[in-house]
């Protein structure tokens, strides 16, 4: 019998590096809030229940985005990732199975990668599995320390790393799979970090390893998949990345582009075959464009239906619900 799967998404951070009055997880990438990406990835991987750990500053915003189907735990004080996970324990009192632990600022995560993580976790009979990646110039993420057999001994946060440890290019992604009934009893053993005054979830790796549990890492080739959103530059890069993917998907479905450089296609857009998109066109979510249309130049269309054969240029069409 296959083990049950649940997910906790850690999303209580304030994201001050975004320099915005809006919480970073409520910013949108091509019409989709950042928090939606890990939630949808967990849903696609088959996790149930899914618990989002929020803070007082963003929980109401999350509830509006997910009016049903998602449970919310409140982290009243920012005391670290381990403390955040413990706020979700009450929702997992009766749960026995594998628990995905993700971070809320990870738009590049997807269901396929999570399924690969779960498969590796179960195939290796690990109690704890994390995803790691190798960077030529590592970002300020925790470094992966392995033993001679390849099991993960511990994760050393950059602030605590020695000069030699900082040379390690394999870093932690903050995506985990836990055998919950084995890892949960160890969470109270995590001690407060004296430098930050927080409880790091990464410390659970060394605790589990010293208890004789199997602690493994699934190393992936594409470090982009582990990148988070912390700044407006990160947000811009994500918009550009997913815009290229959305345009490519339309190209493969039979849509033509005179030039792709000055076109934006949000998530949730349909364009019919043999339609031509001209420069300086913005297609927002909820837009339906039929077949054999000519859209642009200078068209902003969002949340409306464009019938087959229409030609629209120098136009703004926006749904009243936008």
pLDDT of residue 158: 87
DSSP 192: P
pLDDT of residue 321: 65
Three-class secondary structure of residue 10 per DSSP: strand
Domains of the chain (ranges; CATH) run 4-226 (3.90.550.10), 253-318 (2.160.10.10)
Q: Tell me phi and psi for residue 248, to 5 degrees.
A: -60, -40
Question: Apex CA 9: angle with CA 225 and CA 156, to 5°?
Answer: 65
The helix (H) or strand (E) run that includes residue 281 is strand 281-284
Segments of 213-266 assigned E as strands:
215-220, 256-257, 263-265
pLDDT of residue 17: 86
pLDDT of residue 84: 97
Buried b / exposed e along 198-210 (16+ C-beta atoms within 10 A) = ebbbbbbbbbbbe
pLDDT of residue 120: 97
Judge if pTM exceeds 0.75: yes
pLDDT of residue 322: 57
Q: What is the pLDDT along the chain (322 residues), one digit of tens a residue?
A: 689 999 999 999 888 888 899 999 999 999 999 999 999 999 999 999 999 999 999 999 999 999 899 999 999 999 999 999 999 999 999 999 999 999 999 999 999 999 999 999 999 999 999 999 998 888 888 999 999 999 999 999 888 899 999 999 999 989 999 999 999 999 999 999 888 899 999 999 999 999 999 999 999 988 888 888 999 999 999 999 999 999 999 999 999 999 999 999 999 999 999 999 999 999 999 999 999 999 999 999 999 999 999 999 999 999 866 5
pLDDT of residue 314: 97
What would the two tokens of residue 23 be?
């919480």
Query: Which residues make Cβ contacts (< 8 Å) with residue 87, sequence separation at least 6?
Result: 53, 73, 74, 75
DSSP secondary structure string for all residues of 85-103:
HHTTGGGGTT--EEEEEEE
pLDDT of residue 47: 98
What would the two tokens of residue 234 be?
């990160």
pLDDT of residue 105: 95
pLDDT of residue 16: 86
């Amino acid at each position: 019998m296959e083990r049950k799967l649940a997910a906790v998404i850690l999303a209580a951070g304030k994201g001050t590096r975004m320099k915005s009055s809006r919480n970073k997880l409520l910013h949108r990438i091509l019409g989709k809030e950042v928090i939606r990406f890990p939630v949808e990835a967990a849903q696609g991987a088959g996790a149930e229940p899914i618990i989002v750990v929020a803070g007082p500053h963003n929980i109401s915003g999350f509830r509006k985005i997910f009016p049903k189907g998602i449970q919310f735990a409140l982290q009243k004080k920012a005391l670290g990732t381990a403390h955040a996970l413990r706020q979700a324990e009450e929702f997992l009192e009766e749960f026995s199975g594998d628990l995905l632990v993700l971070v809320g600022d990870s738009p590049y995560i997807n269901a396929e990668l999570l399924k690969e993580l779960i498969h590796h976790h179960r195939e290796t009979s690990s109690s704890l599995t994390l995803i790691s990646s190798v960077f030529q110039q590592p970002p300020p993420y925790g470094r992966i320390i392995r033993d001679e057999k390849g099991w993960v001994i511990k994760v050393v946060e950059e602030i605590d790393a020695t000069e030699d440890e900082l040379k390690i290019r394999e870093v932690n992604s903050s995506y985990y799979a836990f055998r919950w009934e084995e890892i949960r009893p160890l969470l109270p053993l995590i001690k407060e970090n004296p430098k930050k005054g927080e409880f790091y979830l990464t410390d659970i790796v060394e605790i589990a390893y010293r208890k004789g549990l199997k602690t493994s890492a699934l190393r992936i080739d594409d470090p982009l998949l582990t990148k988070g959103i912390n700044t407006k530059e990160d947000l811009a890069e994500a918009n550009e990345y997913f815009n290229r993917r959305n345009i490519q998907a339309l190209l493969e479905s039979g849509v033509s582009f005179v030039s792709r450089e000055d076109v934006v296609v949000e998530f949730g857009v349909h364009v019919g075959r043999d339609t031509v998109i001209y420069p300086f066109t913005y297609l927002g979510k909820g837009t339906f464009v039929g077949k054999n249309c000519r859209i642009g130049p200078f068209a902003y269309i969002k949340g409306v239906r464009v019938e087959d054969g229409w030609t629209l240029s120098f136009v703004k069409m926006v749904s009243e619900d936008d």
